């Protein structure tokens, strides 16, 4: 019998990360749930185990390289390898025009969304390359493919996810690593709800520019991520897949 596959999910305690964890659990994938919130992460572990799969929680601040290396090492110690990586942890920022950001706000978003994502890719790739390959999905955003006001630093980090996705696909395809990114539109996650509470004016007529006239659901994004991670289309490599109700199509 083949061993179970192993996935690492950052930001796995809520939102897209939790939805992906639960969807992969339905495929029998063992999940390493990485989050800064122990309560949220443990809740995801509980829900994964309810679906009959294996899971562990690892608390980590992804903006710190040593904590990223720790979650990678801990996953390998527990499960033996890493087959899939959903590189997802992120924050939105304050929701103001760029010059109104403080340096501390810029550094915070860069630390989690950019540095944390790059650290994760470095350390996970080392494991995948040593073990014959793997599949990676990076979370970008519609703000990573088009300009959107009041999310400048966030947008910069999400554009960076597009660039690193294409670069890694070019560098490591021959070694069995497949790297893609997703670009979700506004999706009803806890992060979006918090942003809406702080910036209600940004959500006036929020669905008007979306051809489907609604926000996305985490479960819809999870289906796409699971499709890419579980290898159902291994020739899809180095692309950014929008999932936004048609927002970036017009």
Give per-residue pLDDT as tens, 75-127. Answer: 999 999 999 999 999 999 999 999 999 999 999 999 999 999 999 999 999 99
Residue 148 pLDDT > 60: yes
The predicted structure's pLDDT at residue 219: 97
The predicted structure's pLDDT at residue 2: 56
Give per-residue pLDDT as tens, 218-248. Answer: 999 999 999 999 999 899 999 999 999 999 9
Is residue 1 situated within a structural domain? no
Question: In CATH, what number is assigned to the domain containing residue 180?
Answer: 3.40.50.720
The predicted structure's pLDDT at residue 1: 38
pLDDT more than 90, % of the chain: 88
- CB 180 within 8 Å of CB 136: yes
Residue 15 pLDDT > 90: yes
The predicted structure's pLDDT at residue 38: 98
Is residue 173 situated within a structural domain? yes
Residue 217 pLDDT > 70: yes
Count of structural domains within the chain: 1
Residues forming the active site: 154
> Rounded to two decimals, what is the model's pTM?
0.95
Is residue 225 situated within a structural domain? yes
Range 164-193 average pLDDT = 94
Give per-residue pLDDT as tens, 39-89. Answer: 999 999 999 999 999 999 999 999 999 999 999 999 999 999 999 999 999
Owning domain of residue 55 = 6-249
The predicted structure's pLDDT at residue 84: 98
Residue 203 pLDDT > 90: no
Residue 4 pLDDT > 90: no
The predicted structure's pLDDT at residue 88: 98
The predicted structure's pLDDT at residue 192: 81
Residue 211 pLDDT > 50: yes
């Amino acid at each position: 019998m083949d061993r179970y596959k192993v996935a690492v999910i950052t930001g796995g305690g809520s939102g897209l990360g939790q939805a992906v964890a639960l969807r992969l659990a339905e495929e029998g994938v063992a999940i390493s749930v990485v989050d800064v919130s122990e309560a949220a992460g443990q809740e995801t572990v509980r829900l994964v185990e309810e679906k009959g799969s294996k899971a562990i929680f690892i608390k980590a601040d992804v903006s710190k390289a040593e904590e990223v290396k720790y979650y990678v090492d801990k996953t390998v110690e527990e499960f033996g390898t890493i087959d899939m990586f959903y590189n997802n942890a992120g924050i939105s920022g304050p929701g103001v025009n760029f010059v109104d950001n403080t340096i501390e706000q810029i550094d915070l978003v860069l630390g989690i969304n950019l540095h944390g994502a790059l650290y994760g890719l470095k350390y996970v790739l080392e494991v995948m390359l040593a073990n014959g390959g793997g599949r990676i999905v990076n979370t970008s955003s519609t703000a990573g493919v088009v300009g959107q006001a009041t999310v400048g630093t966030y947008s910069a980090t999400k554009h960076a996810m597009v660039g690193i996705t294409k670069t890694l696909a070019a560098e490591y395809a021959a070694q069995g690593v497949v790297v893609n990114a997703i670009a979700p539109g506004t999706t009803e996650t806890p992060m979006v709800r918090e942003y809406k509470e702080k910036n209600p004016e940004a959500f006036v007529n929020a669905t008007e520019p979306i051809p489907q006239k609604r926000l996305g659901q985490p479960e819809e994004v999870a289906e796409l991520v699971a499709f890419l991670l579980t290898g159902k289309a291994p020739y899809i490599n180095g692309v950014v897949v929008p999932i936004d109700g048609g927002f970036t199509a017009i």
